[in-house]
Structure 1
Amino acid sequence: MLERKYIFPGVIELNLQAGRSFGVNLYLLDGGQEWLLLDIGEEETLDEVIELIRALDFPLSKCKMIVATHADVDHVQALARARERLRTRTAAHPRAAAAIEAGDAVETYAHISAQNFHVPMPPCKIDIKLQEGDVIRVGKLRLHVWHTPGHTPGQLSFKLGSLLFSGDNIYRDSCVGVIDAHHGSHIPDFIRSLERIRDDDAEFLLPSHGPIFRKDRAIIQRAIDRLQQYQYMADFGTCAVRWPLQEEWEQIILSGQWPPQW
């Protein structure tokens, strides 16, 4: 049996526990008589993840559920196999569930044809559809469900006391989860989700990538300020709200002024 390395009471991060990277952060929440996982990662690491959980003396039969923070392939590719092997239930927001159950290769980022990137995305039944305000009870723990769309329409975050499992909303370097139309990204929603995280009383943020960090309003505000600009930049295509330069050009065209005033 391995010694359990809790980063906070009832919380083990499996990358840190293993001393190696599984690609995405995997959080095991230990409620005493039962436990759950936030995300499961890719198929190639599943066997090692399960063996690690067994070595930590967590009975596999006591896995209450595996929760998908969202539908990105790097977070959920192994979900179908894990559901079968652990004989447990899966949970996600309804918008994420639709992509996962369909094995939607585009929305989950499993296929990016322009970059010749193609990985399998096995469909998986989602047993529990999680909504804003739900509470997941894991033994003595109470996990409060937040719907924090923006990166994806089905992104969830989870509040546990002074901790916020913040998914792909914000990282310690003020970067955020990728913004892409094929992904269902929505910049105004993203800003609202970040404002909610900024204004909450959580002390620590536990993201899906990169290090855990003490919440700093300045880190989040830098991301908000940047996304505010993104809303009006052609760089973000249909994810942008408006492109003021194009509006200006159309006014020049409609004015009939000749020669136009450059």
Structure 2
Amino acid sequence: MDMPGAEVVKKRIAEIYPSVYLIYGQNRSAHAYLIKGDAKTVLIDSCLPDGVAGVVDALAEVGVAPEDIDLVLLTHEHIDHAGGVPFFGKKSLVAAHRLAANKLTLQDEFVLMNKAFDSSADAFRIDLLLTEGAVIDLGRYELHVIHTPGHCSGAICFYEPNHRLLFSGDVVMATGIVGGVLQSGNISDYIHSMRRLAALRVEHLYPGHGKISDRAEADIQKGIERLETLLDESKMLFKVVQNSQHGFDHIMRSLRDLNR
């Protein structure tokens, strides 16, 4: 029991699987994950820009310095996941899907959601463009890249088939929570991505926010159901808009004017 007046220290890092560590997101930052492979050490996501010191301190608790990280893998382009890269990218290679890389290198603040987090990030480069089906062999663990657009266009998950681990970013979280359809996202793409994840043999779910889960298949299925419900509700809303007094007449008129 905490003593009155005692300061409660939040846990910063925990080993959740052999040589796989969860670095807890502080304040509004996403979680980051450290994987110490036999051949390479990687960091999945990197926190908000003002959370770098906390991540460095967490790494130090397990004997890892920033220069020990060979590769920083980004699950997507939002700043709460990618904001720490200007620091870590000075010492490590940085990899992301090409659609995420494009937005990050152009500093597309509308999509990166800088304003939502009242934050900004220094410009940086992406060294490696990750494509669907790429495999990153760390020794002991191999991460398979799965392009999972929907939450945003550049979202990817990292799947480790030998141990049935899924690092899902904001695509799906424990109890089937989904990250929502944000800028550059699409609900139909989201459902397709989730159905692809459901076809995998996933046991351990390591998301960008909230709790980790050992009921990954059930969580993914719940996420699909939530998105399908959202799609049905969106269709109803679309019909209301389409049947309104003005509907999309102004759009069609604009197109006709362009063709004159």
TM-score normalised according to structure 1 size: 0.79
Q: Is the 8 A contact 1:105 1:121 kept in 2?
A: no
* Equivalent AA in structure 2 for residue 200 of structure 1: L
Q: Does 1:14 align with 2:20?
A: no
In the alignment, what sits opposite 2:205? Answer: 205
The alpha-carbon deviation at position 242 of structure 1 amounts to 7.9
What SS is found at the alignment partner of 2:112?
Answer: coil
In the alignment, what sits opposite 2:239? Answer: 244
In the alignment, what sits opposite 1:194? Answer: 194
Q: Is the 8 A contact 2:86 2:121 kept in 1?
A: no
* Equivalent AA in structure 2 for residue 30 of structure 1: K
* Equivalent AA in structure 2 for residue 137 of structure 1: D
Identity of aligned residues (%): 27
The alpha-carbon deviation at position 216 of structure 1 amounts to 4.8
Q: 1:63 to 1:187 in 2, by over 3 A?
A: same
Q: Is the 8 A contact 1:231 1:242 kept in 2?
A: no
Q: What do residues 47-106 of structure 1 show as CA deviations (whole Å, max 9, x unaligned)?
A: 23123323422254331111111010111112112212xx11100000000111111111
Of 62-71 and 216-225, more deviation after overlay is shown by 216-225
Q: Does 1:176 align with 2:196?
A: no
Q: 1:218 to 1:159 in 2, by over 3 A?
A: closer
4+ runs of 1 displaced by more than 6 Å?
A: none
The alpha-carbon deviation at position 218 of structure 1 amounts to 4.2
Distance 1:140 1:249 in 2: 58
Aligned residue pairs, count: 234
Q: Does 1:143 align with 2:143?
A: yes
Counterpart mapping for 1:1-262 below 5 A: 5-15=14-24, 23-84=29-90, 87-112=91-116, 118-160=118-160, 161=162, 162-180=164-182, 183-234=183-234, 243-247=238-242
Distance 2:70 2:150 in 1: 28
What SS is found at the alignment partner of 1:95?
Answer: helix
Distance 1:50 1:22 in 2: 17
In the alignment, what sits opposite 2:251? Answer: none
Q: Is the 8 A contact 2:56 2:65 kept in 1?
A: no
- Aligned-residue CA RMSD in angstroms? 2.8
Distance 2:214 2:30 in 1: 19
Distance 2:230 2:177 in 1: 13
Q: 1:216 to 1:62 in 2, by over 3 A?
A: closer
Distance 1:156 1:93 in 2: 7
What SS is found at the alignment partner of 2:142?
Answer: strand
* Equivalent AA in structure 1 for residue 37 of structure 2: G
The alpha-carbon deviation at position 122 of structure 1 amounts to 2.3
Q: 1:106 to 1:247 in 2, by over 3 A?
A: closer
What SS is found at the alignment partner of 1:36?
Answer: strand
The alpha-carbon deviation at position 153 of structure 1 amounts to 0.5
Distance 2:61 2:28 in 1: 17
TM-score normalised according to structure 2 size: 0.80
Of 65-74 and 55-64, more deviation after overlay is shown by 55-64
Q: Gaps (5+ residues) in structure 1?
A: 235-239, 251-262
The alpha-carbon deviation at position 210 of structure 1 amounts to 0.7
Distance 1:137 1:102 in 2: 29
Distance 2:64 2:167 in 1: 21
* Equivalent AA in structure 2 for residue 82 of structure 1: F
* Equivalent AA in structure 1 for residue 80 of structure 2: D
In the alignment, what sits opposite 2:254? Answer: none
Distance 2:51 2:223 in 1: 31
